[in-house]
């Protein structure tokens, strides 16, 4: 699995240290192990997880601006944990409303020795502890839902980072709150079949 990760990374401009690569492989092993009992992801094959979960998360890393981020509807820690591994200088809050997912994340953080992640069990509309430089999510079906539910989370200069498959600009017109699209980036995820986009919005 480590050889596959090296091959995937070589197709990007992402540079990671040896211990970071080891943490990513260990995270996939944990996800695979816990998945059998907790049903955390529909992806069952660890090598497929490297593409669909790890690389799909990591390709967002070069576009992150700031130091304090929240991953909303993180599930088993995606994209938050791979991004936290790749960016030890940044802080991440991983928010989910399902207890078993947060239990898994807490275990993963302890096993991986990650200190720049805070797991939070909460519904997004009830979480108002602080504001962030960036609000990340790949959990929302529509941009409108993401902006509606998360509008209180970015700080004055904060951005929404929406990870999407196919993206139609008509989604922007459906957003009722005042936002600007600052960028729409076609992401290149090695060995992934299908389109991936990162849509960046600002209040």
Report the binding-site residues: 73, 78, 124-125, 138
How far is CA 10 from its chain centroid?
21
Identify the residue whose tokens are 């996939």.
Answer: 28
CA distance 81 to 27: 8
CA distance 150 to 158: 12
Characterize 146-184 residue by residue with b for buried, 16 or more Cβ atoms within 10 angstroms of its Cβ, and e for exposed: bbebbbebbeeebbbbbbbeebeeebbeebeeebebeee
Annotated binding site for S-adenosyl-L-methionine: 73, 78, 124-125, 138
Q: Counting every residue, how long is the chain?
A: 203
**Contact yes or no for 75/40 (Cβ under 8 A):** yes
Q: Which helix (H) or strand (E) holds 107?
A: helix 99-112
Secondary structure E strands in the chain: 68-72, 91-96, 117-121, 132-137, 154-164, 180-186, 197-202
């Amino acid at each position: 699995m480590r050889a596959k990760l090296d091959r995937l990374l070589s197709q990007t401009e992402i540079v990671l240290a040896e211990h970071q690569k080891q943490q990513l492989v260990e995270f996939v092993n944990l996800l695979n192990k816990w998945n059998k009992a907790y049903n955390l992801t529909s992806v069952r094959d660890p090598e497929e997880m490297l593409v669909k979960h790890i690389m799909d998360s990591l390709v967002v890393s070069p576009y992150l601006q700031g130091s304090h981020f929240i991953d909303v509807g993180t599930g088993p820690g995606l994209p938050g944990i791979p991004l936290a591994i790749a960016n030890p200088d940044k802080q991440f809050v991983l928010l989910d409303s399902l207890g078993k997912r947060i239990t898994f994340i807490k275990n993963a953080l302890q096993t991986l020795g990650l200190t720049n992640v805070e797991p939070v069990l909460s519904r997004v509309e009830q979480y108002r502890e602080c504001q962030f430089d960036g609000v990340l999510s790949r959990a929302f079906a529509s941009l409108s839902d993401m902006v509606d539910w998360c509008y209180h989370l970015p700080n004055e200069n904060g951005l929404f980072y929406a990870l999407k498959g196919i993206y139609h600009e008509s989604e922007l017109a459906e957003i009722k709150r005042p936002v600007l699209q600052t960028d729409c980036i076609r992401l290149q995820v090695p060995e992934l079949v299908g389109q991936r986009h990162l849509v960046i919005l600002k209040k």
